[in-house]
Amino acid sequence: MSGVRLLVGTKKGAFILSADGKRNAWDVQGPHFAGWEVYHLKGSPADPDRLYASQSSGWFGQKIQRSSDGGTSWEPMGDAFVYDGVPGTHQWYDGTQHPWEFKRVWHLEPSLSDPDAVYAGVEDAALFRTADGGKSWQELPGLRTHGSGPRWSPGAGGMCLHTILLDPATPDRIFIAISAAGAFRSEDGGASWRPINQGLHSQYIPDPTAEVGHCVHRIAMHRSRPGVLFMQKHWDVMRSDDAGDSWREISGNLPTDFGFVIDVHAHQPDTIYVVPIKSDSEHYPPEGKLRVYRSRTGGNEWEALTRGLPQRDCYVNVLRDSMAVDSLDPCGVYFGTTGGQVYGSADGGDSWAPIVRDLPPVLSVEVQTLP
């Protein structure tokens, strides 16, 4: 019988939550890397038992761990993330220029076809790649050095490259997003890049329609339609129908268009999910009600999904890498909170139940659908 495996990164370790296809009884394994921040872990689409994890600590830096048995055992891999050449400077909070400094890996994106190839999005923003299963990492410097780097600046969480989308139809096409620089696209496997932020409007930067400087929180695509992108920006939910060349707002009737996560239903490319958060200064749901909003029309028309979610006194946040969908039918949707809950829905979001309630603050959720 098919099943699912949730890979949950938290402020104090990683957890693996497993269930069969019914998704109503869960086994909890962990914490792995106890006491360390695990910003992200993800499995290879080409070999589901091959997992990669980003383990970091303010004291002891960055470690990369790899599992070849679905997360039962792990081995440390290479963790030297060294910028190519002289790193240069980016804009600092006070407007001055500040040297690029590696801090941590935010996101790991395994290749769609090669279990040994993985992309890593790091803070300060840059894209790295390994071709040897994580033993060594090389920067793809064309992104950081393409020209607009000195105008990138850190968001409140740091200047992080947090989103990496690999186009399944066009293998050399990669989308990435940086807070706070914006979205970028490569057509040559990461060698060269161009900003794709036309149509974004950000009141908090001197030129609200600037080429770069936008605080993009997350981008999502459906693998059957990779030219259509959905974006949760700092404020505004956006959509592009031309692979990022232009964007239009689809916030519609959302109670607030601030938020972090966005994801797409596994079988319905126009069904998308967000979790509205009150504001950038109040990182919790409006009215103390934790609501996932679903649009079945690709945006603009949203419905609140509340069944099984707390509808009073709830003041958690849902961070940008903390939502995922499985590919079972009906589609499962999952998200984690800074309060340590991981919620799951086995019916496309109609109803929810907590899988776990008391983990450390959740930094990321990924899901693997297993045969």
Partner 1 sequence: MKLRVALPTHLRTLAKVDGEVELDLDPPATLGSALTALEVRYPVLRGAIRDHGTLRRRNFVRFFACQQDLSLESADTPLPDAVVRGDEPLMIVGALAGG
Residue selected from 80, 156, 169, 191 as contacting partner 1 according to rule CB under 8 A: 80
Q: Name the residue nearer to partner 1 (CB basis): 76 or 147.
A: 76
Question: Is residue 149 helix, strand or coil?
Answer: helix
Max CA-CA distance within the chain?
57
**Rounded least distance, CB 61 to partner 1, Å:** 5
Residue 82 binding partner 1, by CB under 8 A: yes
Segment contacting partner 1 by CB under 8 A, of 14-22, 78-86, 140-148, 322-330: 78-86
Long-range contacts of 352-358 (CB under 8 A, 24+ apart): 352/292, 352/305, 352/307, 352/308, 352/309, 353/24, 353/308, 355/6, 355/17, 355/26, 356/15, 356/17, 356/26, 356/28
Nearer CB in complex with partner 1: 104/144: 104
313 touches partner 1 (CB under 8 A): no
Please tell me whether residue 88 binds partner 1 under the rule CB under 8 A. no
In the chain, what are the helix, strand and coil shares in percent, each to the nearest 5?
0, 45, 55
User: To the nearest whole angstrom, how small is the minimum distance from the Cβ of residue 135 to partner 1?
Assistant: 11
Q: How many CB atoms lie within 10 A of CB 370?
A: 19
79 lines the binding site for partner 1 (CB under 8 A) = yes
85 makes contact with partner 1 (CB under 8 A):
no
Asked if 58 interacts with partner 1 (CB under 8 A), we say yes
Which residues, 6 or more positions from 282, have their beta carbon under 8 angstroms from its beta carbon? none
* Nearest-angstrom CA–CA distance, 17 and 4: 8
Query: Rounded to an integer, what distance in angstroms lies between the CA atom of residue 26 and that of residue 233?
Result: 33
Nearest alpha-carbon partner for 238 in 255, 213, 221? 221
The interface region with partner 1, picked from 57-65, 206-214, 264-272, 336-344 by CB under 8 A, is 57-65
Q: Which of 12, 23, 63, 233 binds partner 1 (CB under 8 A)?
A: 63
- The smaller minimum CB distance to partner 1, of residues 64 and 316, is found at 64
Q: How far is the CB of 81 from partner 1 (least distance, A)?
A: 8
Phi-psi region of 273 (alpha: psi -120 to 50; beta: other; left: phi over 0): beta
**Which residue in 25, 60, 94, 207 binds partner 1 (CB under 8 A)?**
60
CB of 99 to partner 1, least distance (A): 13
Nearer to partner 1, 12 or 265 (CB): 12
Q: Output the CA–CA distances (angstroms, integers) from residue 121 to 100, 107, 137, 179, in the order listed.
A: 14, 5, 11, 11
Shortest Å distance, C-beta 282 to partner 1 = 23
Please enumerate in sequence order all residues whose Cβ is within 8 A of that of 206, keeping only pairs 6 or more positions apart, or say none. Answer: none
For residues 142, 169, 296, 109, the Cα torsion angle rounded to the nearest 10 degrees is -50
Nearest alpha-carbon partner for 194 in 215, 179, 174: 174
Q: Does 57 bind partner 1 (CB under 8 A)?
A: yes
The residue (of 12 and 173) whose beta carbon lies closer to partner 1 is 12
In whole angstroms, the minimum distance from the beta carbon of 102 to partner 1 comes to: 9
Q: Choose the stretch contacting partner 1; rule: CB under 8 A; options: 60-68, 155-163, 177-185, 303-311.
A: 60-68
What would the x/- binding string for partner 1 be over residues 3 to 42, using CB under 8 A?
A: -------------------------------xxx------
Q: Does 86 bind partner 1 (CB under 8 A)?
A: no
* Nearest alpha-carbon partner for 176 in 160, 152, 155: 160
Kindly list the residues in this chain that would bind partner 1 in the complex (CB under 8 A).
34-36, 57-63, 76, 79-82
